Amino acid sequence: MRYRFLAVVAALTWMWALPATAQQLSLNALSNYLNQLTSAQAGFTQINADGTISTGTLYMRRPGKARFEYNPPEQALVMANNGAVVVFDRKLGGDPESYPLNRTPLGLILARNVDLGRADMVVAHGYDGTATTVTAQDPENPEYGSIQLKFT
């Protein structure tokens, strides 16, 4: 079941609209933006460990809560609440897997006070001419996967 969790955080890309700029947004500006969000809904695209793609809708309420609802044919549900990320795989059945939220990259954006500049999990910060991208991964547990946030 740990494999499913890897897939969940392997490569999520979220697009959030920010004021138009012609340059890379700083980690401080992105942190300020995230700190102003109390709730959000966005589509997500996930690149699974085997290279397949899953899509769905993310519902987020800061601080600390998120729900990833997958589009068919996926039968998984991922929820973050009460300091844990819980993965339900309806296809496999059995008990859900649970992970400490603060040990996952998802914990960065669900934190009460987001500070990407001081986050040990931010491993990349770049700009491709149209979007600023931040990639986060737990350096002590890279097997937990990574999360990529794309701001346009």
User: For 50-86, how does the pLDDT look when each residue is reduced to its tens digit (9 = 90+)?
Assistant: 889 999 999 999 999 999 999 999 989 999 999 999 9
Q: In terms of CATH, what superfamily is 2-151?
A: Lipoprotein localisation LolA/LolB/LppX (2.50.20.10)
Reduced 3-state DSSP string for 17-67: CCCCCCCCCCHHHHHHHHHHCCEEEEEEEEECCCCCEEEEEEEEECCCEEE
**Is a pLDDT exceeding 80 seen at residue 92?**
no
Domains of the chain, by residue range, sit at: 2-151
**Is a pLDDT exceeding 50 seen at residue 123?**
yes
Band (27; pLDDT cuts 50, 70, 90): very high
**pLDDT, tens digit (0-9, with 9 covering 90-100), for 35-60:** 999 999 989 898 888 889 999 999 99
Q: 0.75 exceeded by the pTM?
A: yes
DSSP per-residue string spanning 53-107? EEEEEEEEETTTEEEEEEPTT--EEEEEETTEEEEEETTT-SSPEEEEGGGSTHH
**pLDDT, tens digit (0-9, with 9 covering 90-100), for 12-25:** 444 445 555 458 89
Percent of the chain with pLDDT over 90: 45
pLDDT of residue 12: 43
pLDDT of residue 2: 41
